[in-house]
Amino acid sequence: MQYISTRGGMQPLPYCETLLEGLAPDGGLAVPEVMPTVDGETLERWRALTYPQLATEVLGLFATDIPREDLARMTAAAYEPFPGAVVPLRELDGGLTLVGLSEGPTLAFKDMAMQFLGQVVEYALERKGSVLNILGATSGDTGSAAEHALRGKDRISVFMLSPQGRMSTFQRAQMFSLDDENIHNIAVDGVFDDCQNLVKKLAGDLDFKRTQHLGAVNSINLARITAQVVYYFWAWLRATDAGGWTEVSFTVPSGNFGNILSGFFAKEMGLPIRRLVLAANENNVLDEFFRTGVYRPRSAAQTLATSSPSMDISKASNLERFIFELVGRDAARVVQVWSDLDTQGYFDFTADLTRFVDEFGIVSGTSTHADRLATIRSVYETSGEVIDPHTADGVKVAREYLEPGVPMLVLETAKPEKFAETIHEAIGVELDYAADLREMLEAPQHVTEMADDEAALRAFIEEHALR
């Protein structure tokens, strides 16, 4: 299996080399040269597998340059930190099923991919005899998941940008309480999109990228996208009966389009998915695109601070991978589309609007603060489950797309403890924290505050990067 760029300017590379690159040299994103496929016989054979075993099988279709025994060792190590079931499925009210993706060390779905990424990046670096300085941006959960997966690793240093004052108290504590020498937290005076733009500028400077050994762990990273594909297969296998070919729908709270893109990959691979339901918050640029065909990112000033902060994103990095498929894998057309975006501030696919649903199965909706409070309250009253605000966005939109006879699976985003203020506002409950979480919340915080300044970030990395 080889990987190419959405913009056509990268020679095909194997999995390990691609995941160390982050952005392709031409500014595009890595995609499989040919999407692997899975048939019904294979799916049935996978029903009896544990989660690490299933991860080995699915990831083995993408990472063909890694010996199977090495891959099995890495998937086992990746999911060992999960104390119980790795991905439990729980029934909610109204025919919905919650796919539990927050059982990992940082209580968020990002652990599902990041724990594997930590294993495979270290493996690739050891094989190459190199080091990597991870430059990333987070709106909340990516940063802590990456730092907890990569802390203390000799060949890796992490520079994580986050927007000042835009994360929850819990999210900040999970990141800033770490004092490992290879972890560098940088709070940028701006919003997530400003952080993401800084990452793209430095990653787009190929000389600086090579000199400083820069890589990425944001959802553009190939290892994250492929590792997330696994839980779509896992959830389908547990929501359906053996021997059947039942279609299911998935609802995915979405900001950067990475999580739902993994579902799109799973559907393209042959998993029987009827609908991929994208749930947005008030920063609903993606919802507008899938409803109207026009993609119009908003400025930092127009990006709202909401009670589902991990989705406070107005420029979805992973959308380019979907556009690549939408235009028939025509890299020149992708380049033109992004040129239009740069020059006029939007691009228009209204002519392809019916294909979003008919061909790709993607629909969407928006949830507001009032919606998520009401959803948290209704789920708690009917099932006793407490869900976090992002998952509530998913449940609210999922209810709009329920179909008779089609199971609706909602991907959980995080544990409610990460957003205690909103939970209290919704249901009046004060959540209890375990002793280790209370200790984390009270620990000294280690963070460098920085202006939205490319030169300052360059200087900081040059001073602290691994060589």
Residues involved in catalysis: 110
- The separation between CA 380 and the C-alpha centre of its own chain, rounded to angstroms, equals 26
Calculate ∠ Cα 390-373-361, nearest 5°. 45
Q: What are phi and psi of 195, to 5 degrees?
A: -60, -45
The helix (H) or strand (E) run that includes residue 342 is: helix 331-344
Distance CA 133, CA 138 (A): 16
Q: How long a stretch of residues is the chain?
A: 467
Question: Is residue 250 classed as helix, strand or coil in its secondary structure?
Answer: strand
Inter-residue contact 148 to 118 (CB < 8 Å): no
Q: What residues does 184 pair with on adjacent strands? A: 159
For residues 251, 252, 255, 258, the Cα torsion angle rounded to the nearest 10 degrees is: -130
* Short-list 163, 199, 165, 188, CA closest to 451: 188
Inter-residue contact 411 to 109 (CB < 8 Å): yes
What are the CA-CA distances from residue 406 to residues 91, 245, 272 (Å)? 14, 12, 11
Calculate ∠ Cα 196-30-49, nearest 5°. 105
* Short-list 408, 319, 311, 400, CA closest to 360: 319
Distance CA 118, CA 99 (A): 23
Strand-strand pairing, 248-253 and 408-411 = parallel
Inter-residue contact 159 to 136 (CB < 8 Å): yes
**Burial of residue 432, with CB atoms counted within 10 A of its CB: 0-12 exposed, 13-18 middle, 19 or more buried:** exposed
The helix (H) or strand (E) run that includes residue 450 is: strand 448-450
Residue partners of 81: CB distance under 8 A and separation at least 6: 104, 105, 111, 115
* Short-list 58, 78, 46, 51, CA closest to 15: 58
Structure-block tokens of residue 303: 């990006």
Distance CA 7, CA 363 (A): 26
